[in-house]
Structure 1
Amino acid sequence: MKVNGGIGGAAPAAWLAIAGLIVIVAIPFIAVVLQGIFPDLGQGSFAGPFSSFIATLGDGALIGMAANTVLLGGCVVLASALIAVPLGVFRALYRIPLAPVWDVLLLVPFMIPPYIATLGWIMTLQPRGYLQQLAGFNLAPFLFSLFGMTLVMTFNTFPVVYFAVSRTVEAVGARYADVGRVFGATPARAFWRITLPLSAPGLAASLMLVFAAAIEEYGTPAALGRRAGFQVLVTGIDLRITDWPIDLPGAALLSILLVAMSLVTFLAQRWILARRSYQTVGGKPTAKDKRPLGALKIPVMIAFAVVAFLATGVPLLAILSTALSRTISGGLALDNISFANFQSVFANSAGALVALANSFSLGIGTALITGLIGVMAAYTVVKTKIPGRMTIDVMTILPNALPGIVVAVGLILAWNMPWLPVTPYNTAFILLLAYCCILLPQPVRYTTAAFQQIGDNLEAAARVFGASSFTAFRRILLPLVFPSLASAMLLVFALASRELVASVVVAPVGMQTIATFIWRQFEQGSIGLGMAMAFIAILITTLLPLLLLTLLRRSGLVAE
C-alpha cells in the first residue's frame, strides 16, 4: 500500500491544481511573453519576432520610466524603514502604554486601499482642501511630487515593516544584548551587533515586500504622478493599452520588464530568508524582558500618535468629511453636513448598489476558487511525491512576481484573440480570472505552512486503517488546515472586493465594481458620492472578515 504521496491517490488533487494554475497563471503570463516576441500575434501571425523590441526599447521615455519605478520603490523602502523600524523596536523591547491600541491603529492603513488613501490626501492637501480651510495654506506642490507620492505610499506600506520588526525583535528579546553589555558593549553597540543581526532576515524580507508593492502600485502614481510629470512603468503600461493608438507589443515588453523587477525582488527576499543566519535557542522571551520607557515615554508616545494620525486619521477623516459634505465647495461647515451621499449610495445612484453586489460576488467567487486551488496545490507540493510537484510549486510562486497591471495585460492578450470560438473577455469572468491570479498566493502560503506543520503519520495511520487518500484528506488533513485556509480566504475576499488596477483595465463594458465606481465618480466630479462608497467599502471589507473570524473562533473551527 502506498501512503503519503501515492501517485494514484494524489493524482486528482494534482490535476485539479495544475488545471487551475494553467488557466489562472500560465495562460496570461505566456500571452505577455509571446506578445512581446511576436507583435502580430493578435492577428494570428508569428512573423517579425522581436521586431517590436527596437521600437519599444529605443523609446527615450522607457529609461526614465524604469528609473522612476526603481527610484520610487527605493524611496518608499527608505521612508518605511525610517518610520517603522524605530517604532517596531520600541514596541518589541519596551512596555508601551496602550500597545494593542497602537497596533490596531497602525494596522488600519494596510486595510485602506492605496488609491482611496491617495484620494483622501488629495482632498486634504490640494488648494482649498481641508488643510487650507483649517490652517490657511495648502501643500499641493509637496503632494504632487516624488516626495509626496513617497510619503502617501509609505503610510500604506510601512505596517508590513512595523509588524515584521516588532515581532522578530520581540522574539529575540533584550537578554542577548544584555549579555553583550555585561562584556563591556555600549547599548548602541549591543543593539547594532547583536539584536539587529538576529532580526535582519525578517526586516530585510519585509523591506523587499514593500519594494515589490511600491513598484506595482497603480492608484497613487496615476493620481499624483501624472500631475507631477512622474511616469512609472505601471502608468506607462496603462497608457499603451488605453490610449489610441493601442500598443499591445509595447505594453507586453514593459510588462516583462516590470515582472523582471518584481521577480528579482522576490528572489532576493527568498535568498535572504534562506541564507544562514544567527538563531536563538532560548525560546520566546517573557514579558519581563520588556523595560519601562522612563524618560523616553513622552517622545515615544508622541511618535506613535503622530504616525497613527498621519497614516490612519488623515485619510479616514478626509474620506468621511468628503462623504458627509453636502457640496465640496461648502467646505468644513456645520450647515454643509449631510447624509445625502450615503443615501444616494443606498438608493443605487449611478449603480452604486450594483457595484457593491458585483464586487462582493467577485470577492466570494475569488475566495472560493483560490481556496480550492490553493489547498490542492499546497497538499500536492507538501504531502505527495508525485512527479511534477515542483512545477506546481513554481507556478504558485509566479503570481508573486506578476503585478496587477501585467495580469490585466496578459488576460487581454490571451482572451481577445479573434480566432477564439469562446472567450471570457468582456464578461465578469475575466475579472474573476484576474482576481484569482493576483490573490492566489495568499491561500497557497497559508495552507502550505499549515501542511508543513502536520506530521505524515496522521495520514499514514488513516491509510493503514483502510481510508482512501480522499477520505484521509477530507476527514483529517482538511480540518487541520481549515483555520489557516479560512483566514486566507477572508483576506482574499477583502482584497478582491476593492481591487483597482485589474478592474479598471479589464472590466466589461457597463460593469462597475467598487473600485471603478469610486474612480469614475472622481473623474466625473461626484467626489462626495465616491467617498461615501469608499467609506462603506472600507467598513464592510474590514469588519465583515473580522466578524466571520470571530464567529468561526466561537464555533471552534478557528483557533484563538
Structure 2
Amino acid sequence: MRSNSLLPGVAVAALALLVALPLGFVVLEAVFPALAQGSLAGPFTHFAKTLADPALPELTANTLRLGTGVVLCAALAGIPLGALRGLFDVPGARLWDALLLVPFMIPPYIAALGWIMLLQPRGYAQQLLGANAAGFLFSLHGVVFVMTLNVLPVVYFAVSRSMAATGSRLAEVGQVCGAGPWRCFWRITLPLTAPGIAASLLLVFAMAIEEYGTPAALAANSGFFVLVTGIERRFSEWPIDLPGASILSLILVGLAVAAFVLQRVMLRGHAFETMTGKPARPGRRSLGAWRWPAAALFAVVCLASTFAPLFAVLATALSRTLSGGLAIANLSLVHFEAIAGGDALQALSTSLALGVGAAVVTGLVGMLVAYCVVKTRARGRAMLDVLSMLPNTMPGVVVGVGLILAWNQPFWPATPYDTWGILLLAYCCLLMPYPVRYTQAALMQIGDSLEAAARVHGAGGATAMMRVLLPLLAPSLAAAMLLVFAVASRELVASLLLAPTGVQTVALFIWRQFEQGSVGQGMAMSVVTVVATTALTGTAIGLLRRRGLA
C-alpha cells in the first residue's frame, strides 16, 4: 500500500524536474515578456501583438497540413509493413528491421540535404538517370515525403511488435472457433494493437509539427513556412522576440494536446486487454505465394527510406569535390582522413554516452509514469499523462531556452547549466514521450489480474512489477529506449543552445562543418555516426533476442 502511494509521488517529482520546470519557464516567458531581464512587469501584454500577426493563421494551417500529411503517409506505409512483419514469416525479416531502423539514425537535416543532392538539378539522380525531381522535392509534398521516411520506424516497430506479441496467437484461437482470417484480423488483432498504433501516430504528428530542419531546407524557398520556422525566426532575427516565440510554442502545445484528446476519444470504449501472462514466442504464418511480393515491397520501401539518402550522403563523403560529380577520378577518402583526429572521436563518444544516459533515464521514468497512469487510481493521472506528452510538441530550441531560463537563476545553490548535465536534461525532456507511450500501449494489454495474482501469492509491489510486469513490458520498453538512444545521439537544436564550452556532440561537429563550407567532412562524419549508432543498436537488439525480449 505504501508503494502504491509512493510511486505517483516519485513520478510527479521526476516529471517536475525533467519536464515541468523548463516548460513552466517557457510559459512564464510568454506571460511576462520582461522575464529575461528579471522583471514580472506587463503580464500578457505581448499576446495581442503576437496573435495579431497576419502570418499566424497561415503558419498554423501549414503546420496542420504538414502534420496530417505525415501521419496519413506514415500510417499507409507503416501499418501494412508492421502487420506483415508481426503476423507473417517475411523473407529476410531481421534484415528489413535493421534497414528500416537506419532512417531514424540519420539526422533529419542530413537526410534533407541528401535528398537535395540526389534530386536537385544536376544532382546525382540526373547524373545517373538524366532527370531530376526538384519541383516535387521543394514543396509541401516533398517535405511530407522526406519526413514520412524519417519517422516510418516509429509506426513500423510499434505495429510489428504489438501484433507479434498478441495478435497472431489470439487470432489463431479465433480461427479455431470458426472465424476467417480477415474477420480475426479486424475483430481481434487490430483492436488489440489499436493503442500501439494510436500512440505511434500521435508521436509521428508531434514529431512532424516540431521538426525544423526539413521544412526549412526543402520548402522555405517556395514560401511554405510553419510554426517552428516562425519560432526560429523570432529567435534569430533582431530584435530577438523571446515572448513571441514562447507564445507560438504554446500554440504548438495546443495542437498536440488537441491531437492527444482526439486519440483518447477515438480509443474510448475500444481498449482491450489479454488475461494471459505467458510471453510466448510469436507463431508467424507463412505467406505462401505472397512471400516474395512481400519481400519486394520491403525492398522498395528500404530503397527509398534507407539506400537513397545514404547513397547521397556516402557519395558526397567520398567525393573529393562536389563539382567533380560521380566520377571514378573524383573518389577519395580525404574527408574521412580529415575527421580522423581527436575532435571527431571525442564528439562521437560524447554523443553515444549522452544517448545511453537519456535512454536509461527516460526508460525508468517512462515506465514509472505509464504504470501510474494505466494501473493506479492516483489523482492527477490525466495530468501526468498530458505532461509526459508535452515535450514532443515543443521545438528543441524552445526547450533549450526554457532550460536556460530555468537553471540560469541566481537562487539555485547548484545548477547543471554550463555542464554536460544540461544536455542530458534537454534530451530527457525532449524524448520522454517515447517510453511513456510505448509502455502505456503495452500495459493496456495486460490484465490487472496478473499483478493481483502475484500479490495474493505474497509478492510485494516492487516484486510484482519486476517479476510479472517488467518481462511483459520488456519488448515495448526496449524498442522505445532504442529509439531514444537513436534520436538523442544526433539531436541538434538543443545542443546548439546548451552545449558548454569544450563539449561537442556529433550534431554540433557536423553542423559546424557545414557552416565552414566543409560539406564533405560533414557527410563523412554523418557516415561514421550512422554506422556507429546502427552497430550499437543492432548489437542491443541481438542481445535482447537472445534473452527472448525482442
> TM-score band (shorter)?
0.7 to 0.9
Code of the residue aligned with 1:543 in structure 2: it is: A
Equivalent pairs counted in the alignment come to: 539
Q: Which segment is superposed worse, 380-389 or 496-505?
A: 380-389
Question: Is 1:252–2:222 an aligned residue pair?
Answer: no
Q: Which segment is superposed worse, 301-310 or 312-321?
A: 301-310
**CA distances 1:231-286 after superposition (whole Å, capped 9, x unpaired):** 11112111212222110010000000011111211222233233337999999999
Structure 1 residues 293, 477: closer, same or farther in 2, change over 3 A?
A: closer
Query: Aligned partners of 1:167, 1:486: CA distance in 2, in Å?
Result: 11
Contact 1:93 1:290 in 2 (8 A): no
**CA distances 1:463-521 after superposition (whole Å, capped 9, x unpaired):** 78xxxx88x58986898589566665454333211112322343345643111222222
Deviation at 1:550, TM superposition (A): 3.5
Query: Aligned partners of 1:126, 1:248: CA distance in 2, in Å?
Result: 36
Give the equivalent residue in structure 2 for 1:19: 13
Q: How does 1:489-500 map to 2 (within 5 A)?
A: 489-500=481-492
Give the equivalent residue in structure 1 for 2:33: 39
**CA distances 1:159-204 after superposition (whole Å, capped 9, x unpaired):** 444455566778376998999999xxxx999999999788766655
Structure 1 residues 461, 385: closer, same or farther in 2, change over 3 A?
A: farther
Question: Is 1:49–2:43 an aligned residue pair?
Answer: yes
Question: Is 1:362–2:358 an aligned residue pair?
Answer: no
Structure 1 residues 250, 362: closer, same or farther in 2, change over 3 A?
A: same
Q: Once the two structures are aligned, what percentage of the paired residues are identical? A: 52
Give the equivalent residue in structure 2 for 1:412: 404
Code of the residue aligned with 2:114 in structure 1: it is: G
Query: Aligned partners of 1:457, 1:513: CA distance in 2, in Å?
Result: 48
Query: Aligned partners of 1:69, 1:339: CA distance in 2, in Å?
Result: 41
Deviation at 1:427, TM superposition (A): 3.8
Give the equivalent residue in structure 1 for 2:288: 292
* Structure 2 residues without counterparts, runs of 5 or longer: none
Query: Aligned partners of 1:188, 1:475: CA distance in 2, in Å?
Result: 37
Give the equivalent residue in structure 1 for 2:230: 236
Question: Is 1:146–2:150 an aligned residue pair?
Answer: no
Contact 1:42 1:418 in 2 (8 A): no
SS of the aligned residue for 1:326 comes to coil
Give the equivalent residue in structure 1 for 2:320: 326
Give the equivalent residue in structure 2 for 1:519: 511
Question: Is 1:105–2:99 an aligned residue pair?
Answer: yes
Contact 1:459 1:477 in 2 (8 A): no
Contact 1:87 1:162 in 2 (8 A): yes
Q: How does 1:52-201 map to 2 (within 5 A)?
A: 52-85=46-79, 87=81, 96-163=90-157, 171=167
Deviation at 1:69, TM superposition (A): 0.8
Query: Aligned partners of 1:370, 1:442: CA distance in 2, in Å?
Result: 8
Structure 1 residues 235, 511: closer, same or farther in 2, change over 3 A?
A: farther
Give the equivalent residue in structure 1 for 2:421: 429
Structure 1 residues 488, 320: closer, same or farther in 2, change over 3 A?
A: same
Contact 2:88 2:284 in 1 (8 A): no
Give the equivalent residue in structure 2 for 1:541: 533
Query: Aligned partners of 1:280, 1:463: CA distance in 2, in Å?
Result: 21
Contact 1:35 1:41 in 2 (8 A): yes
* Structure 1 residues without counterparts, runs of 5 or longer: none
Contact 1:92 1:167 in 2 (8 A): yes
**CA distances 1:194-241 after superposition (whole Å, capped 9, x unpaired):** 997887666555444322221121221122232332211112111212
| Aligned partner (choices 332, 340, 345) of residue 334 of structure 2 | 340
Structure 1 residues 366, 276: closer, same or farther in 2, change over 3 A?
A: closer
Q: TM-score, normalised by structure 2?
A: 0.82
Code of the residue aligned with 2:491 in structure 1: it is: E
Structure 1 residues 241, 488: closer, same or farther in 2, change over 3 A?
A: same
Code of the residue aligned with 2:532 in structure 1: it is: I
Query: Aligned partners of 1:193, 1:459: CA distance in 2, in Å?
Result: 32
Contact 1:320 1:532 in 2 (8 A): yes
Contact 2:89 2:285 in 1 (8 A): no
Query: Aligned partners of 1:290, 1:97: CA distance in 2, in Å?
Result: 10
SS of the aligned residue for 1:46 comes to coil
Query: Aligned partners of 1:494, 1:65: CA distance in 2, in Å?
Result: 29
Structure 1 residues 428, 95: closer, same or farther in 2, change over 3 A?
A: closer
SS of the aligned residue for 1:346 comes to coil
Query: Aligned partners of 2:380, 2:282: CA distance in 1, in Å?
Result: 45
**CA distances 1:343-397 after superposition (whole Å, capped 9, x unpaired):** 222213xx32232233223223323433454455556667777776765555434
Structure 1 residues 88, 131: closer, same or farther in 2, change over 3 A?
A: same
Query: Aligned partners of 2:157, 2:127: CA distance in 1, in Å?
Result: 35
Query: Aligned partners of 2:423, 2:45: CA distance in 1, in Å?
Result: 31
Query: Aligned partners of 2:358, 2:270: CA distance in 1, in Å?
Result: 37
Give the equivalent residue in structure 2 for 1:261: 255
Question: Is 1:399–2:391 an aligned residue pair?
Answer: yes
Q: Which segment is superposed worse, 297-306 or 314-323?
A: 297-306
Query: Aligned partners of 1:152, 1:299: CA distance in 2, in Å?
Result: 25
**CA distances 1:22-43 after superposition (whole Å, capped 9, x unpaired):** 2211111111212112211222
Contact 1:180 1:190 in 2 (8 A): no
Deviation at 1:117, TM superposition (A): 1.7
Deviation at 1:416, TM superposition (A): 4.3
Structure 1 residues 456, 85: closer, same or farther in 2, change over 3 A?
A: closer
Q: Which segment is superposed worse, 50-59 or 388-397?
A: 388-397
**CA distances 1:81-131 after superposition (whole Å, capped 9, x unpaired):** 444455556667776544444444334323433222212212212233211
Give the equivalent residue in structure 2 for 1:439: 431
SS of the aligned residue for 1:23 comes to helix
Code of the residue aligned with 2:311 in structure 1: it is: L
Contact 2:139 2:222 in 1 (8 A): yes
Query: Aligned partners of 1:387, 1:178: CA distance in 2, in Å?
Result: 43
Contact 2:474 2:549 in 1 (8 A): yes
SS of the aligned residue for 1:455 comes to helix
Query: Aligned partners of 1:226, 1:360: CA distance in 2, in Å?
Result: 32
Query: Aligned partners of 1:207, 1:474: CA distance in 2, in Å?
Result: 28
Structure 1 residues 281, 18: closer, same or farther in 2, change over 3 A?
A: closer
Query: Aligned partners of 2:83, 2:459: CA distance in 1, in Å?
Result: 48
Q: Which segment is superposed worse, 144-153 or 220-229?
A: 220-229
Contact 2:14 2:365 in 1 (8 A): yes
Structure 1 residues 477, 380: closer, same or farther in 2, change over 3 A?
A: farther
Q: Compute the RMSD of aligned alpha carbons.
A: 4.3
Query: Aligned partners of 2:75, 2:359: CA distance in 1, in Å?
Result: 32
Q: Which segment is superposed worse, 241-250 or 106-115?
A: 106-115
Give the equivalent residue in structure 1 for 2:303: 309
Contact 1:370 1:436 in 2 (8 A): yes
Code of the residue aligned with 2:493 in structure 1: it is: V
Give the equivalent residue in structure 1 for 2:210: 216
Contact 1:4 1:456 in 2 (8 A): no
Deviation at 1:413, TM superposition (A): 3.3
